[in-house]
Amino acid sequence: MRKKLIAANWKMYKTSAEVTAFTSAFLPLVAANTRDEIVLAPPTIWLTQLHAELKGSNVSASAQTMDWHTEGAFTGETSPLMLKALGVKYVIIGHSERRQYFNETDETVNLKLKAAIAQGLTPIVCVGELLAEREAGKTADILRRQVTIALQNVAPAEAAKLVVAYEPVWAIGTGKTATPEIAEEAHKIIRTEIATALGLDVGAATRILYGGSVKPDNCPTLMACANIDGALVGGASLDPSSFAKIANYGA
């Protein structure tokens, strides 16, 4: 049974005071939730603070990105070794905004995935198609390519912690949400590709999240799909009440 994972991606939002205000309001709202894993991904600058504020709670911290080098002359970057030293558990890799604005590629996603695994971090690897690609009937091809390259030279045993997030780019920040049927079909394609690359057991065990305008009202329907194992939430995760409703879906 795959335990669902509900992750908040705060992107480039929140000051230090706003982080504290969020955790103060949010943690009591989800304290009784033992059903799911709950994760908050703040801007890198607030990871130390957030990790301290989450201590003793049922919520974990995640980085939004990282470099694949352990150390070096890479101004402005954060290494997986640094994240591990902070006590961070998760790291988002290859988010569509990183691909769009910061030149991340399928190949650099692969490098980051392997580096995260090497440091014991749980990678949340994002894949998804553009609107033009979906309209051209290329969704399956895009997802297969992204998953295949991301998993190159990764052994099945190394992928035990792997999490994949399907985020149709046309549904991120647009208010448009893939129907449960569209999302489920994409998740099936991803799961099949993972099984092809790493074996049936890994394919069956890997959690695949949906990300794309997830809100309290559509979360229960999405979470009821057989191959959807959680959510990667953007805008609706910035408000503690809204994100708590998503994390507690169906309760």
Which residues are identified as catalytic?
A: 95, 167
Structure tokens at 83: 């994240």
As given in the structure block, the two tokens for residue 204 are 């069956």
CB-based burial of residue 182 (10 Å sphere; 0-12 exposed, 13-18 middle, 19+ buried)? middle
> Using an 8 Å Cβ cutoff, are 96 and 126 in contact?
yes
Residue 176 carries which side chain, given as an amino acid letter? Answer: K
Rounded (10°) angle between helices 139-150 and 180-198: 40
Query: Are 240 and 248 spatial neighbours (Cβ–Cβ below 8 Å)?
Result: no
- Whole-angstrom Cα distance, residue 216 to residue 238? 13
The H-assigned helical ranges of 63-104 are 80-86, 96-101
Residues in contact with 15: Cβ distance below 8 Å, sequence separation at least 6, in sequence order: none
